[in-house]
């Protein structure tokens, strides 16, 4: 999709075409191996943001190297113009599309992040944003840091999956359905879904610190990466403006609690987020003007959620400094 076409055609999120899994037993041909793979992300992207948080919490930085793209795409999609000579220093490529093409020429679904690339061959392994973080939590355990939390505890998986599915349909993806809507009814339906889910989450989180159980889980990660972008881009740019996150006392406190937890806020770059959405989505924002606000200082103010108890890392410990 070219930058000018955003908001001009009906939005439908593509399923990940490359859904191979990197597993402990290597059953898809990709065994877990320290140093073999490179994670490519945009700091602007909420789907990539999930992987950044999980990677930090689990202590996989040394095992899974990181490539960061320019937040501004051109029509060949994600590019490595932030690196010297405009090339990823490990993969040696200028565009992420080169790793896609090395795997399969003219593959459907476009070039997306997060993406994990096999360094020796330069081929894309997976862009399955729904599965990557789950596999980091459950298949990469031998490479986890001492004290890494269990982000997908077996006893709670059914409840975590149910919560994540509702959040995905109405909120994670719902903001895009609203923002890229091409007609009034389509927009209103999506926007109502967004706020119906935010209202339901407000009720759920009013008396509990985390979404499922008393520790951080994958469900919190997936909600956080949407909430942290809400006031900066979804409220104005995507017209999800019934209220701001900062006007909802429960969700604003919950989001600040996570932001101030090691592994969450230290993966966020508001500059990349705003420049990507406002400058790339020319079909919605033709001028490419990036707003000055909102003020982000509030993210570090006291949240008071400690009173609800909970143990952020369970029996584990927080990650070290990034």
Structure tokens given for 201: 């989450």
Percent of the chain with pLDDT over 90: 91
Long-range contacts of 164-168 (CB under 8 A, 24+ apart): 164/218, 164/219, 164/222, 166/197, 166/200, 167/197, 167/201, 167/219, 167/222, 167/223, 167/226, 168/130, 168/222
What pLDDT is attached to residue 75? 85
Residue with tokens 């006031």: 231
- Residue 293, CB-side half-sphere exposure with 13 Å CA sphere: 7
Q: Which of these ranges, 14-23, 171-180, 263-272, has the smallest mean pLDDT? A: 14-23
In this prediction, residue 233 has a pLDDT band, given cuts at 50, 70 and 90, of very high
54 closest CA partner among 146, 125, 187, 150: 150
Q: What mean pLDDT is predicted for residues 58-74?
A: 97
DSSP strand pairing (65-68 vs 123-126): unpaired
What pLDDT is attached to residue 3? 54
In this prediction, residue 249 has a pLDDT band, given cuts at 50, 70 and 90, of very high
Report phi then psi at 193, rounded to 5: -60, -45
Q: What mean pLDDT is predicted for residues 79-102?
A: 97
Structure tokens given for 124: 């894309």
Would the pLDDT of 7 be above 80? no
Q: What mean pLDDT is predicted for residues 7-27?
A: 79
Would the pLDDT of 61 be above 90? yes
Would the pLDDT of 288 be above 70? yes
The catalytic residues are 45, 176
pTM of the complete model: 0.95
Query: Looking at residue 162, what DSSP letter applies?
Result: H
């Amino acid at each position: 999709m070219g930058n000018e076409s955003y908001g001009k055609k009906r939005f439908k999120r593509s399923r990940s075409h490359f859904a191979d899994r990197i597993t402990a037993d290597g059953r898809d041909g990709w065994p877990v191996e320290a140093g073999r793979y490179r994670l490519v992300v945009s700091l602007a992207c909420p789907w990539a943001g999930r992987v950044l948080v999980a990677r930090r919490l689990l202590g996989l930085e040394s095992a899974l190297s990181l490539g960061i793209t320019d937040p501004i795409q051109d029509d060949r999609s994600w590019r490595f113009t932030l690196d010297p000579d405009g090339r990823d220093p490990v993969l040696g490529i200028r565009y992420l599309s080169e790793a896609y093409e090395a795997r399969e020429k003219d593959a459907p679904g476009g070039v997306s992040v997060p993406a994990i690339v096999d360094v020796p061959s330069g081929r894309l392994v997976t862009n399955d944003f729904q599965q990557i973080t789950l596999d980091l939590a459950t298949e990469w355990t031998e490479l986890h840091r001492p004290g890494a939390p269990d982000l997908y505890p077996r006893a709670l998986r059914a409840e975590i999956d149910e919560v994540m599915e509702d959040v995905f349909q109405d909120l994670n993806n719902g903001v895009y359905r609203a923002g890229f809507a091409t007609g009034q009814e389509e927009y209103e339906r999506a926007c109502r879904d967004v706020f119906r889910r935010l209202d339901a989450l407000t009720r759920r989180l009013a008396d509990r610190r985390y979404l499922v159980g008393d520790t951080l889980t994958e469900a919190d990660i997936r909600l956080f990466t949407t909430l942290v972008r809400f006031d900066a881009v979804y409220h104005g740019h995507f017209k999800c403006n019934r209220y701001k996150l900062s006007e909802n006392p429960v969700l604003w406190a919950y989001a600040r609690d996570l932001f101030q937890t090691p592994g969450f806020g230290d993966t966020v770059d508001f500059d990349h987020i705003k420049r990507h959405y406002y400058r790339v989505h020319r079909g919605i924002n033709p001028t490419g003007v990036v707003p000055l606000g909102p003020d982000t200082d509030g993210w570090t103010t006291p949240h008071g959620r400690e009173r609800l108890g909970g143990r952020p890392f369970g029996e584990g410990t927080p990650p070290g400094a990034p």
